[in-house]
Amino acid sequence: MSPTKTHTCYHIHTTPELTEILPAYLEGMPFNAFEETETGLKAYLEQHAIESAVEADLEALREKFEFTFYKEVIKNENWNAIWEAGFQPVLVEHFCGIRANFHPSFENVKHEIIIHPKMAFGTGHHATTYMMMSMIETTELKDKTVFDYGCGTGILAILASKEGAAAVDAVDIESESYESTIENAAVNQVNNITTYHGTLDDVPEKKYDVILANINRNVILDSLDTLYSRLKQESILLVSGILHMDEEMVIKTAKDCGFNYQEGIRKGDWSCLKFKK
């Protein structure tokens, strides 16, 4: 999210349950950041986007879910400074702690990751990122090659490196995420992550031992064939960004591509699934 551009903020008022799942439906719209509030969500849109089309999509979504919304124009604020000011540390049991450089260090954690918490996706607060980190804890990564597909702030790529991965590739279509991953890798003194800006097609073809894909249902479904071809035999795919209601669809599609379903975990309305080639 550009730090100084004028944005339109859509204030979406809904229930806590819908606050969890609405981002999965809003990701197809040109919003470039979401923020949970006490009454629902804030969804941010750069002003060059076509607001009328967005509002038509929101009205169509209101036929399926109960929520109200209004919009306000917010001019030229330093978004990253605002975001950082409200960032709170995240702790995944005794496995991993995530904090900004202005927070005190964690005690009794295996790994500590320091990030500059810009509004790139994946600061550890969302259930999907949290579950991916939990799954990484039980996945053998030492001396493995790892691919982080949709890297966001780079947390999962950095964690994979800290878990002993030999080399990590990471990609994200958002320039803010690409830059954030490079920056956060440097902050954590991790030097074996190669970051790409673009899509899956922009990553040189090679085969990996483990692929991490914390994106959304549609991108995962569209990418499963390619992800299968990018894995070595007997290798692992971890996916999240999937709602409970979509689990069966993703598992069936993955099996049709040749994957074997291993296990899944849930947090809130979200699921994280593990497959083996």
Cβ atoms within 10 Å, residue 39: 14
Give the pLDDT of residue 118.
58
Domain range for 39: 7-77
Q: Per the structure, how many domains does the chain have? A: 2
138 and 269 fall within a common domain: yes
The verdict on residue 94 lying in a domain is no
Domain at 249, CATH number: 3.40.50.150
139 and 223 fall within a common domain: yes
177 and 257 fall within a common domain: yes
Sorting pLDDT into bands at 50, 70 and 90, what band is 84?
Answer: low
* Percent over 70 (pLDDT), the chain: 89
Single out the residue of 135, 164, 95 nearest to residue 236, CA to CA: 135
pLDDT one-digit tens code per residue, 164-181? 999 999 999 888 889 999
The verdict on residue 146 lying in a domain is yes
Domain at 13, CATH number: 3.30.70
Q: Which of 77, 94, 112 finishes a domain? A: 77
pLDDT one-digit tens code per residue, 17-28? 888 788 878 877
pLDDT one-digit tens code per residue, 125-156? 578 888 999 999 999 999 999 999 999 889 99
The verdict on residue 117 lying in a domain is no
**Complete DSSP assignment for 201-222:** GGSPP--EEEEEEES-HHHHHH
